[in-house]
Chains A and B, each alone.
Chain A
Amino acid sequence: AQSVTQLGSHVSVSEGALVLLRCNYSSSVPPYLFWYVQYPNQGLQLLLKYTSAATLVKGINGFEAEFKKSETSFHLTKPSAHMSDAAEYFCAVSSPGGQAGTALIFGKGTTLSVSS
């Protein structure tokens, strides 16, 4: 069965600092990997996705993530944090052919706080 582990339920950074949100996955079949962001009282918005093309994926708002098969990781980074990045971030895996089909299996989420 697929699963996602997000290390750190809460990450705090200063404005302009590097953002690193960690995600490790488990999947018995080749996965698709996603990062979503959720702002308060809103739905989820896709930041970026990995679907077996380039291992370094660039997304919206300056975020990027690198798929590392040997480490089963898909960490999210942004070189310089902005106050508007404060939100909850979810890593998700989809494993077509797996038990849940193409549904997203989410991690517990990481709340990012940005201070001035």
Chain B
Amino acid sequence: DSGVTQTPKHLITATGQRVTLRCSPRSGDLSVYWYQQSLDQGLQFLIHYYNGEERAKGNILERFSAQQFPDLHSELNLSSLELGDSALYFCASSFDRSGYNEQFFGPGTRLTVL
């Protein structure tokens, strides 16, 4: 158990819908990273938040957005869903934003878009 929790574990929805994925970092960790894992694209970085502020963006679509709240949990919002958005979404937390410290990964949310 990494100490990072993600809900829900599984999500099945239809094209065009909007979903919200939730991540609670390890106690004391200020950084939250979101990653997408799919068969064709592999593991891709989406976005990084540190202490409530966006720090870096990766290959995140405009239909996707995220935020980190004062209690440090984070939410990833996916809208106008397409079949290709079906993937495993991981969040990871780290103590700071130095890159030196380990990122601890949650168990992931498996999104299926029908």
Contact = CB atoms under 8 A, between A and B. Distances in A.
A82 interface: no
Interface in B9-44: 31, 33, 35, 42-44
Interface of A: 32, 36, 42-46, 49, 51, 90, 94-96, 99-109
Specify the main secondary structure of chain A where it touches its partner. Answer: loop
Contact of A49 (B98, B102, B105, B108): B102
Interface residues of B, number: 27
Given A42-B107, A43-B4, A43-B108, 6 more contacts: A43-B2, A43-B90, A45-B2, A51-B100, A102-B31, A106-B45
Contact of A32 (B31, B35, B99, B106): B99
Contacts, number: 64
B99 A101 contact: yes
26 contacts: A32-B100, A36-B105, A43-B2, A43-B105, A43-B106, A44-B90, A44-B92, A45-B2, A51-B100, A94-B99, A95-B99, A99-B56, A100-B45, A100-B58, A101-B48, A101-B56, A102-B48, A102-B55, A102-B56, A102-B97, A103-B45, A103-B56, A103-B58, A104-B92, A106-B43, A107-B42
